[in-house]
């Protein structure tokens, strides 16, 4: 991955737990443009790589991210909250696995810090004068970022756990049944995602209408493969045993294979390669059913049902 050095040019608190950080290029060259829903990888000094959605107006020439100080994190959020104006860090070019799609209307559902990519989408949809509705759920108004940016928009509805129960999210009312030409976007922590996706399935929404980005680890897959299997690299014929409890990515990197990776959680899509033979056991939360059927595979989180999995890697 190619890294670009960026400097912190502004830092503020959206809530007591959420820091808003603006980054500018150090070398003077403009940052690459991005589309709503995109994220950047950030390389933390400890070697951790974390993904943060870009939520600021793209015309400002800076990248804006909002970071929740998560006590249970593995160090990424603490490191980001420790940044001060003038500090430098390395970032990737923007990538987008969660774009707006062509649709007649757009329904957006944000849970907590999951507002970050959806805020960029709302800005884009406003600019295009598109039909959309945003439902923003949070534990309380004081813990919700960017409320002021959205409060005057009649197409935005807030749902706060500590306010009148009548305004809480109601999927039958706020999502309803599937409608032709409607795209649904969902982003937030695991519990929120599971509730929305499960509810959408119950209400009859087809998978192709649901677009998601999960802020957290992908759900645990039950009833799937266990034990060791072998990965064969198609270009060289080299074979590597993947024991139970270790990922394909870990073993390949340990053996000097130049494999792509970033989040190591199956949620960013950087490590996707193509399966040429074998039966994959998909455990990611980023690939669509169509992409899986087309042979795509995440080496950081997925495994195999078959004894051997042949990958399009050198």
User: Same structural domain for residues 186 and 134?
Assistant: yes
User: Same structural domain for residues 239 and 203?
Assistant: no
Give the separation between CA 64 and CA 66, rounded to whole angstroms. 7
The reply to whether 189 falls in a domain is yes
Q: What is the mean pLDDT of the chain?
A: 90
User: Same structural domain for residues 234 and 192?
Assistant: no
Report strand pairing: 303-304 vs 280-281.
antiparallel
Q: What is the pLDDT of residue 27?
A: 81
Q: Which residues contact 240 (CB under 8 A, 6 or more apart)?
A: 230, 231, 233, 251, 252, 255, 257
Q: What is the pLDDT of residue 47?
A: 74
Range of the domain at 126: 105-214
The reply to whether 219 falls in a domain is no
Closest CA to 253 of 308, 200, 297, 299: 299
Q: Could you tell me the CATH number of the domain that includes residue 296? A: 3.10.20.30
Closest CA to 231 of 262, 270, 271, 265: 271
Q: What is the pLDDT of residue 136?
A: 98
User: Same structural domain for residues 206 and 280?
Assistant: no
- Last residue in a domain, options 158, 187, 214: 214
Domain count for the chain = 3
User: Same structural domain for residues 82 and 109?
Assistant: no
User: Same structural domain for residues 247 and 307?
Assistant: yes
Q: pLDDT tens across 255-297, in order?
A: 999 888 776 666 677 889 999 989 999 988 788 888 898 999 9
User: Same structural domain for residues 144 and 209?
Assistant: yes
User: Same structural domain for residues 81 and 130?
Assistant: no
Q: Could you tell me the CATH number of the domain that includes residue 178? A: 3.40.50.80
Q: Which residues of the chain fall below pLDDT 70?
A: 1, 46, 59, 72-75, 216-226, 263-267
Q: What is the pLDDT of residue 266?
A: 63
The string of DSSP letters for 102-113 reads --SEEEEEEEGG
Q: What is the pLDDT of residue 10?
A: 95
Q: pLDDT tens across 96-146, in order?
A: 989 999 999 999 999 999 999 999 999 999 999 999 999 999 999 999 999
Q: What is the pLDDT of residue 221?
A: 43
- Last residue in a domain, options 214, 239, 272: 214
What pTM, to 2 d.p., does this model score?
A: 0.79
The reply to whether 224 falls in a domain is no
Report strand pairing: 296-298 vs 272-277.
antiparallel
């Amino acid at each position: 991955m190619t890294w670009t050095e960026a400097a912190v040019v502004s830092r503020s608190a959206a809530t007591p737990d959420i820091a808003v950080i603006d980054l500018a290029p150090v070398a003077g060259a403009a940052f690459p443009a991005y589309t709503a829903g995109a994220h950047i990888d950030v390389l933390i000094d400890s070697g951790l790589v974390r993904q943060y959605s870009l939520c600021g107006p793209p015309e400002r020439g800076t990248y804006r991210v909002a970071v929740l100080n998560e006590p249970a994190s593995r160090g990424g959020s603490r490191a980001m909250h420790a940044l001060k104006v003038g500090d430098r860090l390395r970032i990737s070019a923007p990538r987008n696995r969660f774009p707006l799609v062509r649709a007649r209307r757009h329904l957006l559902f944000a849970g907590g810090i999951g507002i970050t990519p959806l805020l960029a989408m709302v800005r884009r949809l406003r600019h295009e004068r598109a039909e959309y509705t945003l439902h923003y759920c949070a534990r309380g108004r004081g813990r919700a970022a960017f409320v002021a940016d959205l409060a005057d928009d009649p197409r935005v509805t807030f749902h706060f756990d500590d306010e009148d129960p009548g305004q809480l999210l109601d999927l039958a009312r706020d999502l309803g049944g599937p409608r032709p030409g409607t795209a649904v976007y969902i982003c937030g922590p695991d519990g929120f995602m599971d509730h929305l996706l499960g509810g959408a399935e119950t209400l009859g929404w087809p998978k192709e209408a649901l677009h998601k980005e999960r802020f957290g680890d992908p759900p645990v897959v039950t009833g799937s493969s266990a034990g060791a299997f072998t990965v064969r690299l198609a270009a060289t014929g080299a074979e590597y045993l993947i024991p139970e409890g270790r990922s394909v990515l870990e073993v390949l990197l340990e053996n000097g294979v130049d494999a792509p990776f970033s989040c190591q959680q199956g949620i960013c899509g950087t490590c996707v390669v193509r399966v040429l033979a074998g039966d994959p056991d998909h455990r990611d939360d980023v690939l669509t059913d169509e992409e899986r059927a087309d042979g795509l595979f995440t080496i950081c989180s997925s495994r195999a049902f078959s004894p051997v999995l042949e990958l399009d890697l050198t």
